Every structure is written in C-alpha cells, then in structure tokens.
C-alpha cells in the first residue's frame, strides 16, 4: 500500500488515501487529509472529527452517514445533527470525508 | 462513491430478513463478515432480526480480549446496532444453557427464546441468511 510523508513521518494509507493504522493518527495527519479532501478545518470541523474518534473508540466502526447524523444530533443538538449542517462542513459526504480526516477507515456500507 | 444512506429508490417494499449467527467470533471470518453485512443491510430500511445460536452466542460475550490472537475485537460494534435501528436481537436459551451463559454475560440486550419460539420466528421470515 502507498506510503506518504506527513510532517516528516512515513505513514501508510490505503488506495483511497485512508490511514491504515489509526493509532498513528495525530493533528498533522488530520490537516494533511483535510488538504487532500479540500476541506479547510475550523472548530466546527474538529468537533465532528473528534466526535468520530470517540465513536470509533466506543464501537470500533466508522458509522454510516445516517447513523453519524443521528448520533451527533443526540450529543451536540439538532442544529448540528442534520444533513445541511454536516454537508456544509464536508460537501463530499460527512461520513466519508470526516472519517478520513479522523484517521478512521471508510464507513461500512459506504460504496 | 457516495453515502448511500441518503438514497431512496421509493420501492417501499419491506421484507423480513433474519441473519443467523452460528459461529464463534474468531477463528473464522464468518462473524465479522456477517456483522458487516448486517450494518450494510441497515441502510435499506428492511425489517432485520439477528439471531445468535450455537457457538454464535459467544459473539455477544462481555469481556472479550483479542490481544493474544492479534485480531480486532469487534464485540463492541454490536452495541452500535441500536444506532443503526437494528433492535431485534435474539438468542436461543438452549445455546446459552449449553455453554453455561446467561443474559448477564452478554454485551447487549437480547430477547431469549425457547426452541419452539425460535422456530416460529424463523418461519415468519422472508429471507434467512446464515453465517
């Protein structure tokens, strides 16, 4: 699998650019992935990224977008747990893009 | 590539799907693959039931530690099923009893069924897929 150099460290990614070993994840990697995805990270983005990392730690999977949206609504309120808000942050798919930035695998069920 | 959950084909046909989990969680790929199929199926808004029987009940055991065999412990993922609106989880009493287990040993809430109740549940299904 391809190796990329991120902030001086060799990191393995899969053919779609997702981090292979999520224990390697750090903020530099998140920033690199965000550039790849053409997403400019703000606090609102970080909130979703950190939420996803917590979700993964608890359930060992990257959630499908519908599940992510619902879970965010529960934790952060309905003004954030909706498609409009999340797609404005991550236009090419909140689950797909935010997972990549969070160092998670591509969500199960995402084709 | 898209987040397929947002798609709606409008067909609106809902079938009863049962996924039958019969094997121990590790050693073969069946349990993990079965779980992934279930998570994907959840996107299609079908009526999904999960059954854990025979050694499949071990998939739901609390306190699984896979460090020694160097594979991922996906048992926590069963707790995520609720978020996927998969809430019908069944275990058969005979399989639990045969292994000295009770509901308290399991990582999620399940409905425990007697053999005849399980047979009836299976008979109601449109599709039964066994892992």
> Is the pTM here over 0.80, yes or no?
yes
Q: What confidence score (pLDDT) does residue B8 get?
A: 55
CB contact under 8 A, B43 and A66: yes
Query: A3-101 has which CATH code?
Result: 1.10.10.370
pLDDT value at B51 more than 90: yes
Domains and CATH numbers, chain B: 15-64+72-130 (3.40.1260.10)
Identify the band that residue B2 occupies on the pLDDT scale cut at 50, 70 and 90: very low
Rounded CA-CA distance A65/B20 in Å is 26
Identify the band that residue B71 occupies on the pLDDT scale cut at 50, 70 and 90: confident
As beta bridge partners, residue A19 has: A13
pLDDT value at A45 more than 80: yes
Q: What confidence score (pLDDT) does residue A41 get?
A: 94
Out of B4, B43, B77, closest to residue A60 by CB = B77
DSSP single-letter state for residue B108: S
Burial A41-73, CB ≥16 within 10 A → b, else e: beeebeebbebbbebbeebbbbbbbbbbbbbbb
Which residue in A has a C-alpha nearest to residue B78's C-alpha? A59
Report the percent of chain B where pLDDT is more than 70. 92
Rounded CA-CA distance B71/B48 in Å is 27
Residue pLDDT, tens place only, A49-100: 999 999 999 999 999 888 999 999 999 999 999 999 999 999 998 888 999 9
**Domain-wise residue ranges, chain A:** 3-101
């Amino acid at each position: 699998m391809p190796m990329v150099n991120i902030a001086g460290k060799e990191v393995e990614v899969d053919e779609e650019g997702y981090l292979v070993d999520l224990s390697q994840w750090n903020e530099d990697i998140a920033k690199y992935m965000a550039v790849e995805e053409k997403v400019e990270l703000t606090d609102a983005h970080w909130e979703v990224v950190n939420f996803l990392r917590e979700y993964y730690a608890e359930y060992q999977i990257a959630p499908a977008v519908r599940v992510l949206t619902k879970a965010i609504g529960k934790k952060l309120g309905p003004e954030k747990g909706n498609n409009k808000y999340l797609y404005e942050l991550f236009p090419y798919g909140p689950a797909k893009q935010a997972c990549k930035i969070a160092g998670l695998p591509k969500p199960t069920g995402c084709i | 590539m898209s987040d397929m959950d947002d798609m709606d084909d409008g067909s609106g046909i809902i079938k009863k799907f049962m996924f039958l989990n019969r094997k121990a969680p590790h050693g073969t790929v069946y349990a993990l693959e079965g779980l992934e199929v279930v998570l994907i199926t959840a996107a299609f808004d079908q009526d999904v039931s999960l059954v854990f029987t025979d050694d499949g009940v071990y998939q739901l055991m609390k306190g699984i530690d896979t460090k020694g065999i160097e594979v991922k412990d996906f048992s926590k993922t069963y707790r995520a099923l609720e978020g996927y609106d998969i809430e019908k989880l069944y275990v058969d009493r005979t399989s639990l009893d045969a292994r000295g287990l009770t509901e308290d040993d399991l990582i999620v809430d399940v409905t425990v069924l007697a053999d005849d109740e399980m047979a009836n549940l299976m008979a109601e299904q449109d599709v039964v897929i066994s892992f």
